[in-house]
């Protein structure tokens, strides 16, 4: 198979990062995450994760369509399951129609509650119809039950059979949507009691012989798209669900803004009312992401091979990593001015460090320079206490890699980001980011006329990682109403972290987290929340005893996926304190406030000069005072 044909297949297998784009293929590539079984019990669950962490795929995997597909389209195997998943994705265009029009919030709560009843009950009835088509022996709803369900929605037409019921419910839903557009004309539609029709329909469905003993999972995806009052409405249903249905919610971090019901004194608590499953925590703390990610990516790549050529394929071998000492060689450390200093030493001093790596020598010379002492004196200290220096070197050697190419106009690669494990860390539990990395890497590999079975070069892996970073950076502007602020936020702090790790000095190595001191304004809090929800920033609890709802108790850092583009360390290391003024100033007056923050670290450079090559695209931003 020629590379162009392989590239076409690669695009089909990896190009659709979003579950919505896969259409019918979504379940062909389904890989069960470690937490999947935890979702399959009767308790309400909240699946929390950033954009691209796989919430939609998992919820759709729990739906009856997903379960049927995953069980090889066997209705016999499907019927062995004790739950039935009903998937509903919150459409922003729809739910935004339920605001304004001169109505107060209480009136909209009643109207939206009725709409939600219609939507969910329609989906349950569609499931009953689907199951009947797969299993013709199914018992049908009696005329009495059909009539009861219709009356719960104020449907006046005669309804004594299932087909008529489904048709009338669908008609009622679309008519109701039309009425909402004319609500300002004081045309208030009749509404049902919140949750009552759902309770009735699930009771009627589970009374049928084929569904006895089963529970309905109402799978609500993109919960963050709901208005605040709409979250209250559904929170009330979660709080008071029955033994016949429960909720499984998919929501972005910080997207579940309201945690109480229609009764403001009635809060939802974990684990009394629901179970919280944080995807990033599951993947990063419990180390489950590696196996899950390997299953997702490896099964796709294997489909590109012909016949049995993929039998020995391993994505870990295909994306090799590089040691720090080897990377230093690739970065031309031999030509570094700090290494060239060793040529001027006496043979006695050269012999004292003859058995250590070039990167270690670079570290010693850098230490001497930043601490204003001679290289000979530093070598003498090293010789006296090698154990202490070995520990110091281990703490600093990663940051040394960022200093090797400093001061050369930043031409070419300044730091390599390569290896399957590195890609896992850059993704930080986000499967969409990982798939983008693998896709872009193989795209470069194959466009370079390389064989599919050969290992991908460190250069191609690094360039691919940079491409993914800038692609997601450019997309931020369209993800939020003030998306340009998120782009500016990343450009500002990306440059700060780049300079901090690349410039010499006595600063602690790898400063890449910030803590905002003092009280935080509503505007600042809104930007931070948007940055986290749209996976521009990640937040880390700074004090384990802190209240999870308090924004200022957290440390913040740029998502690791952007590290290769800005060239800084993706490992969570050390923090620096900044003020809200500085945080907001990086967005509004980048040159002034970037310099101000760096000056406090005794770094005095022109941030507009010697930009890494890829950052020159945003030269105008860094020149903005």
Count of C-beta atoms within a 10 Å radius of residue 340? 11
- Give the residue among 527, 515, 621 at the shortest CA–CA distance from 578: 515
Tokens 């505007």 belong to 523
Q: Are residues 275 and 350 in the same domain?
A: no
- DSSP classification of residue 413: -
Tokens 């000979």 belong to 376
For residue 487, what are the CA distances in angstroms to 117, 380, 589, 596, 610? 39, 48, 14, 20, 21
Task: Give how many domains the chain has, as a whole number.
Answer: 2
For residue 592, what are the CA distances in angstroms to 149, 601, 614? 65, 15, 22
Residue 256 lies inside a defined structural domain of this protein? yes
Q: Are residues 201 and 270 in the same domain?
A: yes
* Rounded to 5°, angle at Cα 182 from 180 and 186: 100
Which pLDDT score is estimated for 257?
Answer: 94
Q: Are residues 130 and 233 in the same domain?
A: yes
SS3 category, 60: helix
Which pLDDT score is estimated for 409?
Answer: 52
Which residues in the chain land under pLDDT 50? 21, 408, 544-552
| CA of residue 381 relative to chain centroid, distance | 46
Tokens at 249, concatenated: 């919610």
How many Å apart are CA 491 and CA 594, to the nearest integer? 10
SS3 category, 54: coil
How many Å apart are CA 210 and CA 129, to the nearest integer? 13
Tokens at 386, concatenated: 């090698």
| CA of residue 430 relative to chain centroid, distance | 4
- Give the residue among 320, 290, 249 at the shortest CA–CA distance from 428: 290
Q: Are residues 345 and 279 in the same domain?
A: no
Core vs surface per residue 431-463: b (16+ CB within 10 A) or e? bbbbbbbbbbbbbbbbeeebebeeebbbebbbb
Q: Are residues 235 and 367 in the same domain?
A: no
The β-bridge relationship of strands 245-251 and 511-516 is unpaired
Final residue before a domain boundary, out of 381, 400, 419: 400
How many Å apart are CA 428 and CA 97, to the nearest integer? 36
Residue 621 lies inside a defined structural domain of this protein? no
Residue 382 lies inside a defined structural domain of this protein? yes
Measured distance between the N- and C-terminal CA atoms of the chain, rounded to whole angstroms:
54
Residue 125 lies inside a defined structural domain of this protein? yes
Contact between 517 and 577 under an 8 Å Cβ cutoff? The reply is yes
Tokens at 4, concatenated: 């162009």
Q: Are residues 334 and 272 in the same domain?
A: no
Residue 486 lies inside a defined structural domain of this protein? no
Contact between 484 and 604 under an 8 Å Cβ cutoff? The reply is no
Contact between 444 and 577 under an 8 Å Cβ cutoff? The reply is no
| CA of residue 188 relative to chain centroid, distance | 41
Q: Are residues 280 and 373 in the same domain?
A: no
Final residue before a domain boundary, out of 287, 316, 351: 287
- Give the residue among 13, 148, 89, 8 at the shortest CA–CA distance from 435: 13
Which pLDDT score is estimated for 529?
Answer: 93
Instruction: Kindly tell me the sign of the dihedral angle through the C-alpha atoms of 245, 246, 251, 255.
Output: positive
Which pLDDT score is estimated for 283?
Answer: 80
Residue 406 lies inside a defined structural domain of this protein? no
Q: Are residues 245 and 98 in the same domain?
A: yes
Which residues lie closer than 8 Å to 282 by C-beta, 6 or more apart?
33, 34, 35, 288, 429
- Full DSSP string of 533-570: HTTSEEEEESSTTS-TT-GGGEEEEE-GGGHHHHT---
- Full DSSP string of 464-477: HHHHHHHHHHHHGG
| Residue 418, H or E segment | none
How many Å apart are CA 361 and CA 354, to the nearest integer? 9
Instruction: Kindly tell me the sign of the dihedral angle through the C-alpha atoms of 552, 555, 559, 564.
Output: positive
Q: Are residues 220 and 329 in the same domain?
A: no
Residue 381 lies inside a defined structural domain of this protein? yes
Which pLDDT score is estimated for 552?
Answer: 47
Contact between 158 and 216 under an 8 Å Cβ cutoff? The reply is no
**Model confidence, pTM:** 0.88
CATH number of the CATH domain containing 87: 3.40.50
Q: Are residues 130 and 220 in the same domain?
A: yes
Tokens 């070069």 belong to 457
Tokens at 258, concatenated: 């309201």
Q: What is the pLDDT of residues 239-278, one digit of tens each?
A: 998 999 999 999 999 999 999 999 999 999 998 999 999 9
- Give the residue among 165, 136, 134, 138 at the shortest CA–CA distance from 149: 165
How many Å apart are CA 176 and CA 180, to the nearest integer? 6
How many Å apart are CA 514 and CA 594, to the nearest integer? 13
Q: In terms of residue numbers, what domain contains 99?
A: 34-139+195-287
How many Å apart are CA 20 and CA 24, to the nearest integer? 10
Contact between 417 and 465 under an 8 Å Cβ cutoff? The reply is yes
Q: Are residues 281 and 328 in the same domain?
A: no
Q: Are residues 129 and 218 in the same domain?
A: yes
Residue 588 lies inside a defined structural domain of this protein? no
């Amino acid at each position: 198979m020629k590379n162009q044909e392989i590239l076409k297949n690669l695009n089909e297998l990896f190009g659709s990062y979003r579950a919505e784009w896969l259409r019918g293929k979504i379940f062909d590539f389904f890989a069960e995450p470690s937490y999947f079984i935890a979702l399959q019990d009767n308790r309400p669950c909240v699946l929390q994760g950033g954009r691209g962490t796989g919430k939609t795929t998992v919820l759709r995997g729990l739906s009856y369509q997903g379960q049927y597909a995953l069980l090889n389209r066997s209705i016999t195997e499907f019927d062995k399951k004790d739950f039935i998943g009903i998937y509903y994705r919150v459409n922003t265009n729809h739910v935004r129609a339920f605001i304004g029009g001169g109505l107060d919030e209480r009136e909209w709560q009643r109207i939206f509650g009725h709409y939600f009843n219609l939507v969910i009950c329609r989906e349950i009835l569609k499931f009953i119809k689907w199951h009947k088509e797969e299993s013709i022996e199914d018992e049908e709803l009696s005329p009495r039950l059909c009539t009861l369900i219709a009356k719960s929605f104020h449907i006046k037409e005669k309804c004594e059979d299932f087909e008529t019921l489904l048709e009338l419910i669908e008609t009622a839903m679309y008519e109701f949507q039309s009425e909402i557009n004319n609500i300002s004309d004081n045309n208030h539609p009749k509404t049902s009691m919140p949750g009552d029709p759902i309770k009735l329909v699930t009771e009627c469905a589970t009374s049928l012989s084929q569904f006895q003993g089963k529970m309905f999972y109402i799978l609500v995806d993109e919960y963050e798209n709901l208005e605040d009052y709409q979250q209250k409405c559904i929170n009330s249903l979660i709080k008071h669900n029955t033994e016949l249905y429960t909720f499984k919610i998919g929501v972005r971090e910080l997207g579940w803004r309201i945690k109480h019901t229609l009764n403001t004194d009635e809060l939802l608590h974990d684990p009394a009312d629901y179970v919280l499953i944080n995807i990033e925590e599951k993947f990063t703390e419990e180390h489950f992401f590696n196996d899950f990610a390997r299953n997702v990516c490896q099964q796709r790549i294997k489909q590109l091979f012909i016949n049995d050529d993929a039998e020995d394929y391993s994505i870990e071998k295909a994306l090799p990593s590089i040691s720090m000492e080897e990377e230093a060689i690739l970065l031309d450390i031999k030509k570094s001015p700090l290494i060239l200093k060793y040529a001027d030493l006496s043979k006695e001093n050269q012999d004292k460090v003859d058995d250590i790596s070039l990167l270690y020598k670079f570290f010693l010379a850098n230490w001497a320079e930043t601490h204003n002492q001679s290289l000979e004196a530093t070598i003498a200290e090293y010789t006296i206490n090698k154990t202490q220096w070995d520990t110091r070197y281990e703490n600093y050697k990663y940051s040394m890699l960022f200093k090797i190419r400093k001061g050369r106009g930043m031409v070419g690669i300044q730091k390599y980001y390569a290896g399957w494990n590195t890609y896992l860390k850059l993704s930080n539990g986000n499967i969409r980011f990982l798939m983008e990395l693998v896709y872009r890497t193989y795209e470069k590999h194959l466009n370079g006329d390389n064989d599919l079975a050969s290992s991908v070069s460190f250069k191609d892996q690094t360039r691919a990682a940079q491409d993914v970073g800038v692609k997601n950076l450019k997309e931020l502007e369209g993800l939020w109403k003030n998306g340009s602020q998120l782009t500016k936020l990343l450009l500002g702090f990306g440059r700060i972290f780049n300079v901090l790790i690349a410039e010499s000095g006595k600063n602690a190595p790898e400063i890449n987290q910030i803590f905002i001191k003092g009280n935080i304004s509503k505007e600042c809090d809104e930007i931070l929340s948007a940055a986290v929800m749209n996976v521009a920033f990640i937040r880390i609890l700074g004090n384990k005893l802190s209240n999870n709802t308090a924004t200022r108790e957290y440390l913040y850092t740029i998502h690791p996926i952007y590290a290769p583009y800005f060239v800084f360390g993706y490992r969570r290391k050390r923090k620096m304190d900044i003020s809200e003024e500085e945080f907001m100033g990086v967005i509004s007056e980048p040159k002034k406030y970037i310099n101000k923050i760096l000056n406090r670290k005794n770094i005095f450079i022109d941030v507009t000069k010697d930009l890494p090559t890829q950052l020159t695209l945003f030269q105008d931003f860094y020149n903005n005072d």
